[in-house]
Amino acid sequence: MGGGKGEECYTTGYRYYAGLHLVFCHALDKLLAIRVGDKWAWQGEVTGNTTLSVNAPSLFGGDDREGGIVGPVDCCFGGPAQARNSYLQSILGANIPAFRGLFSIIAKHCQLSANNPYVKEWGILGQRTRTGWQESLADIVAADGYIDMNPAHIIREALTDTSWGGLGYPQADLDEQSFAAAAYLLAAGPDPNQDGLGLALLWARNSSIEDFIQIILNHIDGVLFYSHLSGLLALKLIRNDYTPAMLPVLNESNILELVDYAMPVATEVVNQVTVNWVDRNNQAQSSTVQDIAGITRTAGQLISATLDFPGIATEELAQKIAARELQQLCVPIPSCTLVVNRKHWDMEPGDCFVFNWPSIGITDMVMRVVSIEIGQHTDSKLRIKAARDVYGLGPITITEPAESLWVNPLSEPADAVRRKLAELTWWQFVHEYGESAAVLAELDDSSTQLTCFCGRPSSDALNYEMWSRNVGATDFVKRDIDSFPFAATTATALVPAVSSVIQLQEGTIDTNLVKGGTYAALGDELVAVTAIDLVNVTVTVNRGVLDTLPVSHAAGTFLWFHQSLFGLDRTERAVGEAVEVRILPSTSLGRMELDLAATDTIACVGRMMRPYPPGNLQVNGLRWPVSIGAAAELVLTWAHRDRTLQTVTLNRQDEGNIGPESGVTYTLRIYGETGLLIRTVTGLTTTSYTYLTADEQTDSGFVPARLNTSLRFELESVRGSLTSLKMWNLAVDRT
């Protein structure tokens, strides 16, 4: 660049040119725009190989600043007949690939910038909806005019593709009728039952293809399952697509056993949902909806859930999905597990039925099947897990939150929605009171005390008071005052393990309250924090420490980092006492009134005096195996644990013997394939047990003699009349 007066010239800066070969994806139907930095360098519509002329010299401020993008750009869709690119051959030589099966662009010695030698990030806006299946339903026009892809097509291709990382299922394994029905309902059309729910996202291999499919299912509220009717992989959408009078009825005439029925705490329901989504400019956005009636029930307190839906690209669709999710979260949804006969053998996940059980006040409740276990073909029973269907609850009033020019940073004290009661552990007792002879002399095997902790109900909440009374007593008594621990929720389900990396749903971790070397409560399981990743918002923990064992946890389980932040009722209590507790948070505007706080009740079991369960359990040399082999004897090994010695280190499950505590023995119970108890072994003092083939055949009584096809066993510690708080409860197959 030159300038000056007359013949005088001088250099004011430089333009920078280069060639680029940028590969973006495996396949594309249409190129719509090229983005450099955070600006669009070219916009149009290209569906086949061509050379674009990009002319945006002032994209970054022109020659006075950082220049722009100017020059020819080859657009290569990677078709099966695509030839080698002549520009690349001129630079790299003739012997190069044709790069078929990939979409790429090639900037041919283009101006990339001025006054700045660094290449900005390039990106594209592309469209791909066609997979060669049900193409009349593939395109869904979004509210902003762009065309998004039918989610059923995305799932189907992810399942069947064999070229870019799909699961490679044969098409014959898919229930085409169910996929076509889902594609129709998701498409846009005159039918009022059609959603017009198109998605715009890509799989970048930063997660498994199975996780990617689950993300799509979350967007569309669908289930993917193997049908026990057809043996094929089926797709079903959860919709208000039934007439209650036409549904099958499950009641005492066909329910063999009501295994459980659970109703969530009403104070934990959500009245505000925020959906995070990504717009066409690849910018993060969020949309919020509220349940007015729910906010009224909580006296204005917002109980919010934030959900990520990266496939949404418009505000209109984000609001629609947020309203759908709020309808499912704004009321307590009861769930149940039923064992039924085979009268309604054809029910599958996603199906609805009417549930009647007058003895607990349930009449004409519409439930939806979550899962179904059909058992062996000779079994006369089905096991169904179900939850109340939200569409049977009637409509709710959903609005966008009203905008305000100012938000009062001070809030009235509110009830703690997240609360937890527990009995004092031996670790906590020793760290609180010490281990002097005088202290220990005050204890007997029924001694216990109570603790509590709760999540911060509002950002300006200061602390909370713990009040308690025995059930039946007249007055609550103030017991303690303490601060709030950091409370998080798990983003994914967890299975038993020695150590786990836990992804948190929260966006940040409070390092003032979360420290390595401390313990936390994952539900009722205690874990030891060993590492904290602030970037990925994860914590690494050793599972099942102190008097607990590793167990499975659903996504959304609370994780409390409460080692030094808990309320303590120092009243000496005994096994069998039932105690009511109220937690009173405070803000700068005052403390919550005692009469307005929720009441929680706990029945004392004498936790701190119970022996620790055995550790390092292995089944035939493996931890948590599914199968031990068709003819293998059941061989159990474990390690001693001692609560009186484990007061300094949070020992891992895979450590060797500690102790044992004086007087501790082990009790083992073994159940056969029918679920019946076939052997009980008490008074074990060693750390292993082999269930001999001959003993198992005798205990089972099969004619002719054989081993069980599956076994379940329970292993617990015993000291006098006390058993460990937790016991091992594992099942294995023989396959």
Q: How far apart are alpha carbons 446 and 431 in whole angstroms?
A: 19
Instruction: Please say if the pLDDT value at position 462 is more than 60.
Output: yes
Q: Is residue 274, in this structure, part of any structural domain at all?
A: yes
State residue 210 phi and psi, 5-degree precision: -65, -40
Which range has the top average pLDDT, 287-291, 428-432, 715-719?
715-719
626 and 714 both lie in a single domain: yes
| Residue 110 reports pLDDT greater than 80 | yes
99 and 199 share one domain = no
Note whether 354 and 211 are same-domain residues. Answer: no
Given a contact cutoff of 8 angstroms between Cβ atoms, the answer to whether 162 and 143 are in contact is no
Comparing 93-107, 295-309, 422-436, 655-669, the range with the smallest average pLDDT is: 295-309
Mean pLDDT of 601-621: 94
Backbone angles phi, psi at 311, to 5 degrees: -80, -10
Instruction: Note the pLDDT of residue 201.
Output: 86
719-734 confidence digits (pLDDT tens): 999 999 999 999 999 9
Is residue 408 included in any domain, yes or no? no
Residues 63 and 171 in one domain: no
pLDDT digits (tens, 9 = 90+) for 209-247: 898 899 999 898 899 999 888 889 999 998 888 888 999
Per-residue pLDDT tens digits for 39-82: 899 999 999 999 999 998 878 877 767 889 999 999 999 999 99
pLDDT mean across residues, the chain? 88
Write the DSSP assignment of 678-710 as a string of letters.
EEEEEEE-SSEEEE-HHHHHHHH--SS----SE
673 and 655 share one domain:
yes
Q: Give the end of a domain, one of 332, 352, 368.
A: 332
DSSP state of 357: E
Provide the β-strand partners of residue 627. 733
Among residues 358, 393, 428, the one where a domain terminates is 393
Q: Residue 184: name the closest of 197, 194, 199, 198 by CA.
A: 194
Enter the pTM of the model. 0.53
Q: Which two tokens stand for residue 501?
A: 């990396």
Residue 398 lies in a domain: no
Q: Are residues 53 and 91 in the same domain?
A: yes
Instruction: Check if the beta carbon of residue 308 is closer than 8 Å to that of residue 296.
Output: no
Determine the pLDDT at residue 399. 61
Encoded tokens for 418:
């997240």
**AA identity, residue 557:** T
DSSP 594: G
* 600 shares its domain with 632: no
Q: Which residues contact 669 (CB under 8 A, 6 or more apart)?
A: 677, 679, 680, 681, 713, 714, 715
d(C-alpha 112, C-alpha 74), whole Å: 15
Domain count, the chain: 6
Q: At 629, which CATH number?
A: 2.60.40.10
For residue 114, list its beta bridge partners.
Answer: 15
Q: What is the mean pLDDT of residues 492-517?
A: 92
Pair 344, 283 in one domain: no
pLDDT at 7: 43
Residues 364, 377, single domain; the answer is yes
Q: What is the mean pLDDT of residues 605-617?
A: 94
Tokens at 514, concatenated? 């979360």
Are both 260 and 364 inside the same structural domain?
Answer: yes
Q: Are residues 87 and 48 in the same domain?
A: yes
Stretch among 173-187, 403-417, 560-574 having the lowest mean pLDDT: 403-417
Q: Can you name the residues that pair with 569 across neighbouring β-strands?
A: 450
Query: What is the domain range of residue 596?
Result: 419-608
Query: How would residue 8 be classed by pLDDT, with cut points 50, 70 and 90?
Result: very low
Residue 9 falls within a domain, yes or no?
A: no
Residues 385 and 307 in one domain: no
Distance (Å) of CA 642 to CA 180, 247, 292, 648, 718: 60, 55, 53, 12, 12
Where does 614-654 show beta strands of DSSP type E? 615-619, 634-639
- Boundary (domain end) residue, out of 545, 579, 608: 608
- Predicted confidence at residue 266, as pLDDT, reads 64
Task: Please tell me the least confidently modeled range out of 115-124, 538-547, 615-624.
Answer: 115-124
Q: Hey, what long-range contacts does 508-514 have (CB within 8 A, 24 or more apart)?
A: 508/534, 508/537, 509/534, 509/537, 509/539, 510/486, 513/485, 513/486, 513/561, 513/565, 514/486, 514/539, 514/561
Tell me whether residue 137 is in a domain. Answer: no
User: Kindly report the CA angle at 154 between 152 and 155, in degrees rounded to 5?
Assistant: 65
- 142 occurs within a structural domain: no
Q: Which amino acid is at 633?
A: E
Residue 20 above 90 pLDDT? yes
Q: Is residue 411 included in any domain, yes or no?
A: no
pLDDT at 400 over 70: no
The whole-angstrom separation of Cα 541 and Cα 500 is 6
Centre a 10 Å sphere on the Cβ of residue 383 and count the other Cβ atoms it contains: 17
SS3 label, residue 114: strand
Domain assignment present for residue 511? The answer is yes
